[in-house]
């Protein structure tokens, strides 16, 4: 397929493709999305084809105003409205009862729909110009690492979609928090940059889905997508635990040419071998912003193995670790 690269000044061109039932990749503040008209089942099908996505994994529907939420959900309830008033537009997705106009291809046959109102101006303008909500998963081949820069998304999806909007690097760098607000208390199905702590400050009963609580065994994944392999670069990933001094001295002796160590700014200069910088450990939003592109860069550089220091699972650290536990398949090196 011929893919057109579209500049952010020419979003009418991208909107035209959406209206014609084609697929368009566009930037959001979390990761790039691979969008199509949420009300056009043929367009939606093309999303699944472009990224080899299993059909039982529902798509998030993107809107450009709170009033559009009423179009796609039959129950934009008080809890959802409270959350929306604090965090929308922004990096959060609300799972709500769906309205009849959401087809099975989008909801994967569920009675609910994930709704996101992105704050990125390009995403908002594209939705408004298209005149329809846009269904969009992260713009990557299923199972691989989500794309957060134009060059990464172009490399992954050129030839597989009708258009790619050339935007800037994504601000947050990990996908939105998915929050189920269909029950009595809000439940986080996927942690993101809107953290548990931030949500509890607004609704104190907000909790994590049991599958996200370390050490809890559950039969059902938090959301359909959570059961699939995710965030896997070609290289093998290990999380590393232990004192930073021990980690540095171990890898000074043992890191092979084909291996790379991700490090925080605080230790970066003291290490002399293959390394990539995660930003400062005093602000894990920097790690979130960088992590996917560094995983992709390590693949491009030909590394076979990536070692990444584990971080405390609180705040955005919980969200980053959620992704990295999947990238590593749970492999941990304790030093």
Binding to ligand TXA (CB under 6 A) within 53-72 occurs at: 57-60
**By the 8 A CB rule, do 35 and 153 touch?**
no
Strand partners, 60: 114
Residue 147 CB-half CA count within 13 A: 27
Residue 40 near ligand TXA by CB under 6 A? no
d(C-alpha 331, C-alpha 324), whole Å: 10
d(C-alpha 275, C-alpha 264), whole Å: 10
| Helices 316-327 and 284-300, packing angle to 10 deg | 20
d(C-alpha 287, C-alpha 285), whole Å: 5
Q: Which is nearer to ligand TXA, 176 or 286 (CB)?
A: 176
Q: If you compute the radius of gyration of the chain from its CA atoms, what whole number of angstroms results?
A: 20
Q: How would you classify residue 131: left for phi > 0, otherwise alpha for psi between -120 and 50, otherwise beta?
A: left
One residue of 21, 41, 143, 224 binding ligand TXA per CB under 6 A? 224
Minimum distance, C-beta of residue 115 to ligand TXA, in the bound complex (Å): 9
Q: Which is nearer to Mg ion, 255 or 295 (CB)?
A: 295
Which listed range, 16-24, 60-68, 130-138, 274-282, lies at the site for Mg ion (CB under 5 A)?
130-138
Residue 148 near Mg ion by CB under 5 A? no
What's the distance, CA 331 to chain centroid?
21
Q: Which is nearer to ligand TXA, 24 or 60 (CB)?
A: 60
Q: Which is nearer to ligand TXA, 170 or 311 (CB)?
A: 170
One residue of 138, 177, 285, 319 binding Mg ion per CB under 5 A? 138
**162 by DSSP, 3-state: which?**
coil
How far is the CA of 114 from the CAs of 76, 129, 130, 144, 263, in angstroms?
Answer: 12, 21, 19, 21, 35
Minimum distance, C-beta of residue 189 to ligand TXA, in the bound complex (Å): 5
Residue 112: which of ligand TXA, Mg ion, none does it interact with, CB under 5 to 8 A by kind? ligand TXA
Minimum distance, C-beta of residue 313 to ligand TXA, in the bound complex (Å): 19
Minimum distance, C-beta of residue 91 to ligand TXA, in the bound complex (Å): 6
Residue nearest to Mg ion (CB): 138
Residue nearest to ligand TXA (CB): 225
Residue 79 near Mg ion by CB under 5 A? no
Strand partners, 259: 305
Question: Which residues contact ligand TXA by CB under 6 A?
Answer: 28, 30-31, 33, 57-60, 93, 95, 107, 110, 112-114, 116, 136-138, 175-176, 178, 189-190, 223-226
Question: Which residues contact Mg ion by CB under 5 A?
Answer: 138
């Amino acid at each position: 397929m011929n893919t057109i690269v579209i500049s952010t000044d020419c979003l009418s061109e991208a909107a035209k493709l959406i209206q014609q039932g084609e697929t368009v990749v566009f930037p959001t503040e979390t990761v790039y999305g691979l969008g199509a008209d949420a009300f056009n089942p043929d367009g939606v099908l093309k999303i699944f084809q472009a990224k080899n996505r299993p059909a039982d994994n529902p798509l998030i529907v993107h809107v450009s105003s709170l009033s559009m939420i009423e179009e796609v959900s039959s129950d934009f309830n008080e809890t959802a409205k409270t959350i929306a008033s604090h965090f929308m537009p922004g990096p959060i997705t609300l799972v709500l009862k769906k309205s009849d106009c959401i087809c099975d291809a989008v909801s994967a046959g569920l009675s609910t729909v994930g709704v996101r109102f992105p704050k990125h101006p390009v995403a908002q303008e594209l939705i408004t110009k298209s005149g329809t909500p846009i269904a969009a998963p992260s713009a990557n081949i299923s199972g691989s690492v989500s794309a957060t820069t134009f060059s990464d998304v172009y490399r992954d999806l050129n030839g597989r979609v009708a258009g790619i909007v050339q935007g800037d690097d994504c601000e947050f760098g990990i996908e939105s928090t998915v929050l189920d607000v269909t029950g009595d208390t809000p439940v986080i199905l996927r942690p993101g940059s809107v953290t548990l702590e931030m949500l509890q400050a607004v609704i104190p009963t907000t909790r994590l889905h049991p599958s996200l609580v370390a050490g809890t065994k559950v039969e059902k994944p938090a959301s359909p997508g959570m059961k699939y392999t995710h965030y896997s670069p070609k290289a093998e990933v290990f999380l590393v635990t232990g004192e930073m001094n021990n980690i540095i001295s171990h890898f000074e002796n043992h890191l092979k040419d084909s291996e790379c160590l991700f490090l925080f700014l605080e230790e970066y200069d003291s290490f002399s071998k293959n390394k990539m910088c995660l930003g400062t450990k005093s602000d894990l939003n920097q790690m979130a912003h960088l992590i996917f592109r560094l995983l992709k860069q390590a693949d491009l550089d030909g590394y076979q193995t990536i070692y990444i220091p584990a971080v405390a699972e609180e705040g955005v650290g919980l969200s980053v670790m959620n992704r990295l536990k999947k990238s590593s398949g749970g492999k941990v090196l304790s030093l």
